[in-house]
Structure 1
Amino acid sequence: MQDLKRYIALVEQGPSTIPERRRIMLDQRDRIVRQIRELTLALETTEYKIRVYDGHPEG
């Protein structure tokens, strides 16, 4: 939320803030990628457990 407020303030200041806005977006992308990896691992683990419960752990 703090980043969003900062980003909005920077937009209002104009084009001179583009480099900082870009950095904020790159940081946001990194957070999203990390979350996707974590969720993918959680999904794979959950699917594996379901297969185990169904008696088919190998795939």
Structure 2
Amino acid sequence: MDIRTRERTFSVSEVADRVGLTTYTLRWYEQEGLVAPVGRDSAGRRRYTQQDMDWLHLLTRLRRTGMPVRDMRRYVELARQGDETLGARRKLFEEHRDRVLRQMAELTEDLKILDFKIDAYRRMENGH
């Protein structure tokens, strides 16, 4: 618990488990400036807040959907500038959403081919 705020905090390993990243990746996100500097306890160990974890969840979703790190950095820069960048952040997400939708459509077509081949092999195995 952070004595100054009475907010529950989490260790690097707890956050890694909850967010699904390695401790190395968490530190890399911080070094890259994707995460604001994380608070430390009296022994100098990183202590993450729930807000830090929420931010990391967003970043992992962006990454998992294929957002390039440069776009993630751009988003972080815009978010730190405040509400005057809401439109730019929305546009960045809309562009990324369009890429994700195109990728999903391509994967749907790829899945159809796989299903066709699986069905064909099943029929051949059964003598049809």
Q: Same fold (TM over 0.5)?
A: yes
Q: Secondary structure at the match of 2:123?
A: coil
**Which runs of 4 or more aligned residues in structure 1 lie more than 4 Å from their structure 2 counterparts after TM superposition?**
none
Alignment of 1:35-54 (within 5 A): 35-54=103-122
Distance of 1:21 and 1:50 partners within structure 2: 42
Equivalent residue, structure 1, for 2:81: 13
Q: Higher helix proportion, which one?
A: 1
Distance of 1:32 and 1:52 partners within structure 2: 30
- After TM superposition, the score normalised by the length of structure 2 is 0.42
Equivalent residue, structure 1, for 2:123: 55
Amino acid at match of 1:51: D
Question: Larger radius of gyration, structure 1 or 2?
Answer: 2
Q: Please, what is the CA RMSD of the aligned residues?
A: 1.2
Amino acid at match of 1:30: D
Equivalent residue, structure 1, for 2:6: none
Deviation for aligned residue 1:53: 1.2
- After TM superposition, the score normalised by the length of structure 1 is 0.88
Does residue 2 (structure 1) correspond to residue 2 (structure 2)? The answer is no
Identity of aligned residues (%): 38
Structure 1 stretches of 5 or more lacking a match?
none
Amino acid at match of 1:15: D
Structure 2 stretches of 5 or more lacking a match?
1-68
